[in-house]
A and B are shown apart, each in its own frame.
Chain A
């Protein structure tokens, strides 16, 4: 029942073709399978960034996504290594647990606005890193290592997902898994933004008092959005842990939280696909600058600053026709 214009259908078809057929084929034919890993990382970071973007949509600057990614990574790792659970079951559980924790933490902190919320979420990332260092179950600074690759899933003898460990190229399998998850995430995000929930979010973003005066239960929507956002963070983190087969307290830290935020800003906060584009550009931008050696950081940060100076409303603001967030 989703109405899209011809233009959007074509765009979508090209996107799917690119992600699921052309890019993998090109990678395999050129033999640069390391690119699978790079693109998988981009996809997972884009999933977590989607969550950050959603909290922006209710007018909250979220610099705490690293905390929920870390949480998701640990939950999945612990369930897989200590309880022997299948990764495929631990993945949604990691997301749900992150969402649950987000509800508990969100109840008090979502009352904060603007810079206050930004600062406290930043501190939250630090708290989670320190907690991971201190708790026995997370194994402190040593982290959790040698996490087995995702196992097979079969129903009635029919193998739906093969055991990643038996695959010739698990990276390719992770790439496809991530691509599917990313598509699902952004489809969900698009629906949220373009359905009633999104409209209510927009009303809250613009004026919380007025929103509550028309009967919007703003504290409920805030919690709901923060939980969904953290769910994305937890899923992204859990996948990362599985690919790296290890989780450390330093797997996601303050710098990562800041980067998630930057991805959203860079892509543009008014556009649903902004965070995806932002992640891609930032990640590859950073990679491309690798050649510059010790000047990598200098050039990268200068570019960021220049970009901000000339496109303060994000990359997608270059396009005149607005999509997504602006209906």
Chain B
């Protein structure tokens, strides 16, 4: 994991940074993509109590798949996105089945999965380095033009499109979790593993599906965002850290918490970059410090259940 503030998912340049309308729009845009990243992480955590260090790397991998199919091969963007999802879904399923499940079964401590996840993060970094190199990669714009409301709110159409797609994905994910049979089984599993097993939920199978879904969400955001921010090897680690923060703000393992966490971080970043940009990395320092103070007061996060 490499660090370095500000090279995360979508911190990039902002437009007309002192207008309130603009800041709010940037907040929504950042918040939507962050929420998606956090959703995947929190899903994996809720189901298996695994802190997926490799989440950021999965996001980057998703970006590179879309880059290859849409940017290099010139195939349609939608197809590339679907391939990003499919790749990460399959990868997630395999990782759960052949790595996490056996280690969880054999280890005397829950924490061993953290080492495994950290090893995976390094592994993905290595694979990405070999396949795609260290350079920043970009793809052609998916739509051209800029939305301009009287210079009060300026936003390129591609950003608006990506933002809408992200929100749609979040909504469909929630609906899926709420109403589909799989979603209900996953929720039962997250709530109480033993009870779910007693109720006849195939725990092994749904753990695998859940992990795969979490990985898929990371891949999907990666695929979406490569069209705007591009993608590079160094993005993985910082993205994981941001995802951890969002999950903590909202309360680990809680779906609504992850969404709130994403939105809050997105808005904090939008405001911070607008007002504090001239002080360099102070924005992130302030975000991190205020998060720590928040957690000191409310350890379970916004939506988490009180414990301990």
Contact = CB atoms under 8 A, between A and B. Distances in A.
A and B touch in the complex (CB under 8 A): yes
Contacts of B110: 114
Contacts of B285: 127, 130-131, 134
A302 B119 CA distance: 7
Secondary structure at the A interface, as helix, strand, loop or mixed, is helix
B237 A262 contact: no
A277 B2 CA distance: 25
B299 A116 contact: yes
Given A130-B288, A131-B285, A313-B109, A123 B241 contact: yes
B291 to A, nearest CB: 7
A271 interface: no
The majority secondary structure among interface residues of chain B is: helix
Interface of A: 56, 61, 108-109, 111-116, 118-120, 122-127, 129-131, 133-134, 208, 253-255, 258, 261-262, 265-266, 269, 294-295, 297-298, 300-302, 304-305, 308-309, 312-313
B277 interface: no
A199 B62 CA distance: 47
B291 A301 contact: no
A127 B51 contact: no
Interface stretch (B9-17, B82-90, B165-173, B242-250): B242-250
A308 B252 contact: no
A277 B3 CA distance: 27
A52 B82 CA distance: 42
B250 to A, nearest CB: 12
A273 B126 CA distance: 30
Contacts of A111: 296, 299, 308
B114 A312 contact: no
Interface string B100-137: 00110011111110111011101101110110000000
10 contacts: A118-B51, A119-B252, A127-B289, A254-B3, A255-B1, A265-B111, A294-B130, A304-B118, A308-B115, A313-B107
A293 B299 CA distance: 44
Contacts of B299: 111-112, 116
Contacts of A262: 115, 118
A119 B111 CA distance: 13
Interface string B47-91: 001010100000000000000000000000000000000000000
Contacts of B122: 297, 300-301, 304
Given A123-B291, A254-B241, A265-B114, A305 B99 contact: yes
Contacts of A308: 103, 112, 115-116, 119
B267 interface: no
A122 B109 contact: no
Contacts of A312: 103, 106-108, 112
Given A255-B2, A298-B130, A305-B120, A123 B115 contact: no
B115 A61 contact: no
Contact of A313 (B99, B112, B120, B130): B112
